[in-house]
Amino acid sequence: MTVSADTIYALSSGAVPAAIGVVRISGPKAQAALEALVGRVPEARRAMLATIRDPGSRETIDQALVLFFAGPNSETGEDVVELQLHGGRAVIAATFAALAALPGLRPAEPGEFTRRGFENGKLDLTAVEGLADLIYADTEAQRRQAVRQLQGMLGDRAENWRLRLIEAMALAEAGIDFSDEADVAADVAARALHAARLLQQEIAALLADGRRGERLRDGLVVAITGPPNAGKSTLLNRIARRDVAIVSPHAGTTRDVIEVHLDLEGYPVTLLDTAGIRETEDPVEQEGVTRARARAAAADLVLWLTEDEAVNPGSAPDEITNLDSAHGSGPETWLIRSKIDLRTGSLAETDARAQLRGEDSHFYELSAVSGEGIDRLLADLATFAKSALESREPALVSRERQRHLLEQANAALKRAIPEGERGREDLFAEELRLAAQALGRLTGRVDVEDILDVIFRDFCIGK
């Protein structure tokens, strides 16, 4: 266990003023700090109502609920004090001033509490990442995924693989040692090879998840594109239920890409409004069109919006085809006919045509002004997001860092297997070592100093 010399403190609850402000103190002087503020220390893990006083002036700062957690049974693994104060600015400021005056105490850096927890073996790196994701989760599906990570679903599996790899390495090395006794050598080598094959299959299976975890963490991207004036910005505003984008009868209003984050039945979707696609002399609009095309090509789904009544699901407009062919297989595209409130024909007729087409076809007719047809689009978007992000097996990989290390382990195992088959035990063992090292980095067991800063940087102070 690492014992830091410094004792750290921070406001761990949200912005003040608030009903309650939680100040946490962690480190070797935590207990002494509590004694200085309160005069006594409650039984560990028992809440106590106490008067918080400035240790210098003895002036009362606040009445608070205080808790003491004796290390190593605490979140950081060190002695931890929690003060549940009234969440007023002056209360927190006076408490901080009192703490700062005590020897050996200093304000915490962002993520420092969690970092101490990691260094003291309270949670592995994948769980730390899960904790960060949990704090930033916007939707139910993201929360569920973050909780899985925090609970160690990926970390435990990686650690299990790493231990099995170490066993296989030991077998391979035993094979080298027993090379005089051919039977023994052949037997242990075969066992090591079998273990490596199994591990490689398991890691490859985990990686073959269509990047669902990463997509869930980042949110699916849905781009609204189409000719100028089709009503793209009006549709975005309607779905966002606020005036995010400027709407005007002037063709070529939108230039920048505008993003709105949606929670569709628990699934995160980023909806993009883009510049209307057309040939133009205006250099600013040209840049807008370039950006629109680029973002649409990289999206998970494109909504092609047009008021052109001649366009129908059978005849995809050229622009869609261009969008697709530019990137081989482009994103799935749904065709939407806008402004149906302006149409002279009756809506009953529209409904009848929708019936004929059947519910599967992704062709929509709607009015962003009257709201007609929006519900069906939103329902289908939610279904799309659900099927893209969810499957029976929850995805365990949620970040590029994790995928990269698992791919390294997988690649090392793939190189190891043919070496093992050729009886080159030393090369076989070396590749297994590399695979184990990659898995060790995933959970933070080895060689992690360089990546720690990157991970903890994203945390807030007090976490």
Contacting residue, 114, 145, 306, 367, with ligand GTP by CB under 6 A: 367
Q: Which is nearer to Mg ion, 241 or 250 (CB)?
A: 250
Distance, in Å, from the CA atom of 179 to the CA atom of 186, rounded to the nearest integer, reads 9
Stretch that binds ligand GTP, among 86-94, 263-271, 311-319, 361-369 (CB under 6 A): 361-369
Q: Which is nearer to ligand GTP, 41 or 305 (CB)?
A: 305
228 binds, among ligand GTP, Mg ion, none (CB under 5 to 8 A by kind): ligand GTP
Binding flags for Mg ion, 193-232, as an x/- string (CB under 5 A): ---------------------------------------x
369 binds, among Mg ion, ligand GTP, none (CB under 5 to 8 A by kind): ligand GTP
3-class secondary structure, 27:
coil
Beta bridge partner(s), residue 202: none
Pairing of strands 220-225, 332-337: unpaired
Q: Which is nearer to ligand GTP, 157 or 339 (CB)?
A: 339
Interface with Mg ion: number of residues (CB under 5 A): 4
Distance, in Å, from the CA atom of 266 to the CA atom of 382, rounded to the nearest integer, reads 9
Are residues 356 and 374 in contact, defined by beta-carbon separation less than 8 angstroms? no
Distance, in Å, from the CA atom of 131 to the CA atom of 75, rounded to the nearest integer, reads 12
Are residues 360 and 376 in contact, defined by beta-carbon separation less than 8 angstroms? no
Q: Which two tokens stand for residue 52?
A: 């918080």
Interface with ligand GTP: number of residues (CB under 6 A): 23
DSSP 355-424: HHH-TTS-EEE--TTT-TTHHHHHHHHHHHHHHHH--SSPP---SHHHHHHHHHHHHHHHHHHHHHHTT-
Beta bridge partner(s), residue 195: none
Q: Is 229 in the site for ligand GTP (CB under 6 A)?
A: yes
- The least CB distance from residue 221 to ligand GTP, in Å, is 18
Stretch that binds Mg ion, among 11-19, 205-213, 251-259, 382-390 (CB under 5 A): 251-259
352 binds, among Mg ion, ligand GTP, none (CB under 5 to 8 A by kind): none
Please give the DSSP secondary-structure letter assigned to residue 206: H
Q: Is 225 in the site for ligand GTP (CB under 6 A)?
A: no
Q: Which two tokens stand for residue 259?
A: 């993003």
Distance, in Å, from the CA atom of 128 to the CA atom of 455, rounded to the nearest integer, reads 8
Stretch that binds ligand GTP, among 107-115, 158-166, 335-343, 408-416 (CB under 6 A): 335-343
The CA-based dihedral angle spanning residues 79, 82, 83, 86, taken in that order and rounded to the nearest 10 degrees:
160
Q: Is 276 in the site for ligand GTP (CB under 6 A)?
A: yes
21 binds, among ligand GTP, Mg ion, none (CB under 5 to 8 A by kind): none
Beta bridge partner(s), residue 303: 224, 334
Tokens 């047809």 appear where? 373
- The least CB distance from residue 261 to ligand GTP, in Å, is 19
Are residues 217 and 267 in contact, defined by beta-carbon separation less than 8 angstroms? no
Q: Which is nearer to ligand GTP, 156 or 341 (CB)?
A: 341
Q: Is 253 in the site for Mg ion (CB under 5 A)?
A: yes
Contacting residue, 254, 333, 398, 437, with Mg ion by CB under 5 A: 254
Q: Is 337 in the site for ligand GTP (CB under 6 A)?
A: no
Counting every residue written for the chain, the total comes to: 463
Q: Which two tokens stand for residue 151?
A: 């609970």
Q: Is 74 in the site for Mg ion (CB under 5 A)?
A: no
Q: Is 13 in the site for ligand GTP (CB under 6 A)?
A: no
Distance, in Å, from the CA atom of 38 to the CA atom of 40, rounded to the nearest integer, reads 6
Strand ranges, E, within 59-111: 60-69, 80-87, 105-107
Q: Which is nearer to ligand GTP, 2 or 248 (CB)?
A: 248
Distance, in Å, from the CA atom of 423 to the CA atom of 418, rounded to the nearest integer, reads 9
Torsions phi, psi for 86 (to 5 deg)? -75, 135
Q: Which is nearer to ligand GTP, 160 or 248 (CB)?
A: 248
The candidate with the shortest Cα–Cα distance to 155, out of 449, 451, 442, is 442
Q: Is 306 in the site for ligand GTP (CB under 6 A)?
A: no
Binding flags for Mg ion, 81-100, as an x/- string (CB under 5 A): --------------------
Q: Which is nearer to Mg ion, 80 or 223 (CB)?
A: 223
Contacting residue, 339, 399, 441, 463, with ligand GTP by CB under 6 A: 339
Beta bridge partner(s), residue 65: 49, 84
Contacting residue, 128, 230, 289, 439, with ligand GTP by CB under 6 A: 230
The candidate with the shortest Cα–Cα distance to 33, out of 94, 90, 93, 101, is 101
Q: Is 99 in the site for ligand GTP (CB under 6 A)?
A: no
Q: Which is nearer to ligand GTP, 133 or 273 (CB)?
A: 273
Q: Which residues between 232 and 271 bind ligand GTP (CB under 6 A)?
A: 232-234, 247-249, 251-254
Residues that bind ligand GTP (CB under 6 A): 228-234, 247-249, 251-254, 275-276, 338-339, 341-342, 367-369
Residues that bind Mg ion (CB under 5 A): 232-233, 253-254
